[in-house]
Amino acid sequence: DAKTTQPTSMDCAEGRAANLPCNHSTISGNEYVYWYRQIHSQGPQYIIHGLKNNETNEMASLIITEDRKSSTLILPHATLRDTAVYYCIVRGQETSGSRLTFGEGTQLTVNP
Amino acid sequence: DTGVSQNPRHKITKRGQNVTFRCDPISEHNRLYWYRQTLGQGPEFLTYFQNEAQLEKSRLLSDRFSAERPKGSFSTLEIQRTEQGDSAMYLCASSLIANYGYTFGSGTRLTVV
């Protein structure tokens, strides 16, 4: 699975959009981009995933560049409860035993 | 359905003792995964099952670790002769289809003293 690079930490004001970047320059054509988050002392929570098209759900939007080498997770109106570590993960369909390989993620802190 | 359940939530054990953790996945999910997470790091893959078959084991899963999923339902992870380095959060997750998101449990925090 391709490696991802994320900033170690980010801050965001409550009510503003949080834009979390991820670089995955070695992504291959059949690999998906997944985002998870982990609130302190809880298990990771699935947010969204995509292949090449932009995706939106009730939690967030995922913007994938045309060359697929980077993506941005957007939380449109961040709240204090969005403070968490956000993981960007690239994974193929059936490779590597279907495992998710987590990096160290981005610590997002939403400030009042 | 209340999601993925893990028991116990916390376990403190003396070095050298054996411990066993249990994971109850979402009932219709046929895939089950175990991860380990140490402080400040992302979760690390240990092993996964499809139904009752254990399909992959990480090199992290030493011979002191064993996982089972009898009848393709709940799973247990046993650590024999625990060491202080085994102290970590042990996370279980389940999924229905490989390409959809996993659902994680809240984990079992193991402290080896």
Which tens digit of pLDDT belongs to each residue from A97-106?
A: 567 889 889 9
For residue A92, what pLDDT is reported?
Answer: 76
For residue A94, what pLDDT is reported?
Answer: 55
Is the distance from CB of B31 to CB of B94 less than 8 angstroms?
yes
Residue type, position A96, single letter: S
DSSP β-ladder status, B10-13 and B5-7: unpaired
B81 has pLDDT over 70? yes
Residue type, position A97, single letter: G
Both tokens assigned to B39: 């402080």
Q: Do B104 and A44 touch (CB under 8 A)?
A: yes
Q: Do B48 and A42 touch (CB under 8 A)?
A: no
Q: Do A100 and B45 touch (CB under 8 A)?
A: yes
How many Cβ atoms are within 10 Å of A95's Cβ, its own excluded? 13
**B33-64: burial string, b at 16+ Cβ within 10 Å, e else:** bbbbbeeeebbbbbbbbbeeebebbbeebeee
Q: To probe the interface with B, which of A62, A85, A100 has the most B CB atoms within 10 Å?
A: A100
Q: Give residue for tokens 């987590």.
A: A102
Residue that wins the pLDDT comparison between A82 and B2: A82
B87 has pLDDT over 80? yes
- In chain B, % of residues over pLDDT 90: 75
- What confidence category does residue B8 fall into, taking pLDDT thresholds of 50, 70 and 90? very high
**Cα angle for residues A85, A39, A52 (degrees, 5° grid):** 50
Chain B within 8 Å of A59 (Cβ-Cβ)?
no
* Mean pLDDT of the region B47-67: 91
Q: Give residue for tokens 């957007």.
A: A74
Name the residue of chain B whose CA is nearest to A96's CA. Answer: B56
Q: What is the C-alpha separation between B33 and B49, in angstroms, rounded?
A: 6
Q: Residue A80 in 3-state DSSP? A: helix
Contacts of B44 in chain A (CB under 8 A): 102
Mean pLDDT of chain A: 92
For residue A101, what pLDDT is reported?
Answer: 87
Q: What is the count of residue pairs from A and B with beta carbons less than 8 Å apart?
A: 57
- In chain A, % of residues over pLDDT 90: 78
